[in-house]
Structure 1
Amino acid sequence: MAQTPSNNILLGTLAPDFKLKDTNSSFEYSFTDLKGTKGTLVMFICNHCPFVLHVIEEVVMIANDYRVQGIGVIAISSNDVTKFPQDSPELMTEFAFTHKINFPYLYDENQEVAKAFDAACTPDFYLFDNQDRLFYHGQLDDSRPGNGITLSGSDLRNAIDSLIYNRNIKNPQKPSIGCNIKWK
């Protein structure tokens, strides 16, 4: 299993806007449509990546915990579905249902959004403040498939808490590790 780290992106970078189709509802949404009053979590995921499958339950819990506190939550899949049909929009809908994803799971068919974010892997987490500036870009926690570390979401939870409560992030931002985005 290849391990690709997320790219280093300058904090304070403005969130790229986009308009993508939600595979849960068939509506098109922009970043502006989905952003939260306190901040916005954008994550690049896909259906088949073992790193995503390892963390998806915790990701859904984080989304449920923080959406009520003003954090918008957006998931995006940008993989090439010609080479990886298991990541097709139809199967994204099924994946969302199976894993109880009740936030938008958007399909980036032409991969322009992933390129605009400089996304590299799945999962790849971006937390923006209420001014749409990058506040955190890093890992969920230190747990990886097979490494024996319990999944907690501690790094991302700490970042979201720091954003909500106007604190500095306590720990250094470590890159996310996952499968590379499957480029066309």
Structure 2
Amino acid sequence: MKRIAMAEVRSTFSLRPGDSAPAFRLPAPDGAMHDLQEIRGTEGLLVIFACNHCPFVIHLAAEVASLAREIGASGVKTVAISSNDISRYPQDAPEHMSSFATEYGWDFPYLFDETQAVAKAYSAACTPDFFLFDSELRLYYSGQFDDSRPKSGTPVTGADLRAAVKSMLAGEPAPERPYPSSGCSIKWKIGSEPSWFAPR
């Protein structure tokens, strides 16, 4: 994969395979509340930490929508969560989230984690960061969407995540060493950064 001149953070502090999905109850931009148990699918749940402005998220957004529809038909639902500090990144505020979701065809819940407590509970490090849970909401896969990066020239396919979903639904063992998610760091509120955060 070609090197790109862009700040890139890799998620290395994710939940361990087999860990339970941390519970949450968060608002959508319209104020409607959604919780983990309500949005889970019969066969699993994909949790994505995302935001509106990150070029890594924008690069994958349309294919994320396609994958979500595909796996949703198999009983694996999807939710995206934005945890960025909107006082410093107002483009990620809830009033802009609905238009972003519409633009890229995200027909799954896109929720706002104002306190950043959910991102910390999941040990999320970057946008996008992907967490795939099985039918019992146990972590099966935490890793990259695929090998593509902005300006890399590599097509966006979702190959890694699609393969993980396929293996999970087939009852196969989880990948032992998945390549970690890559992207922009979550924009933590100043003074409340998690212990694993190392500014670049």
Question: Shorter-chain TM-score category?
Answer: over 0.9
- Equivalents in 1 of 2:89, 2:35: separation in Å? 25
Query: What is the aligned partner in structure 1 of residue 145 from structure 2?
Result: 140
Decide whether the 8 Å contact of 2:57 with 2:128 is kept in 1. yes
Identify the match of residue 122 of structure 1 among 123, 127, 135.
127
**Uncovered stretches (5+) of structure 1, i.e. residues with no partner:** none
Query: What is the aligned partner in structure 2 of residue 181 from structure 1?
Result: 186
Q: Letter of the 2:69 partner, please give it.
A: N
- Name segments (4+ residues, structure 1) moved above 6 Å: none
Q: 1:171 to 1:62 in 2, by over 3 A?
A: farther
- Equivalents in 1 of 2:82, 2:47: separation in Å? 11
The superposition leaves residues 59-88 of structure 1 with CA deviations (integer Å, 9 ceiling, x where unpaired) of 000001111110011000000000000000
The superposition leaves residues 12-61 of structure 1 with CA deviations (integer Å, 9 ceiling, x where unpaired) of 111000000012x5310111111110010000000000000100011000
Percent identity between the two aligned chains: 47
Equivalent residue of 1:115, what SS?
helix
- Equivalents in 1 of 2:41, 2:88: separation in Å? 34
Aligned-residue offset at 1:153: 0.4
- Equivalents in 1 of 2:152, 2:106: separation in Å? 25
Query: What is the aligned partner in structure 1 of residue 89 from structure 2?
Result: 84
- Is 1:152 paired with 2:157? yes
- Root mean square deviation of aligned Cα: 1.2
TM-score (normalised: structure 1): 0.96
**Uncovered stretches (5+) of structure 2, i.e. residues with no partner:** 1-5, 190-200
Note the 1:19-98 alignment, pairs <5 A.
19-23=25-29, 25-98=30-103
Equivalent residue of 1:148, what SS?
coil
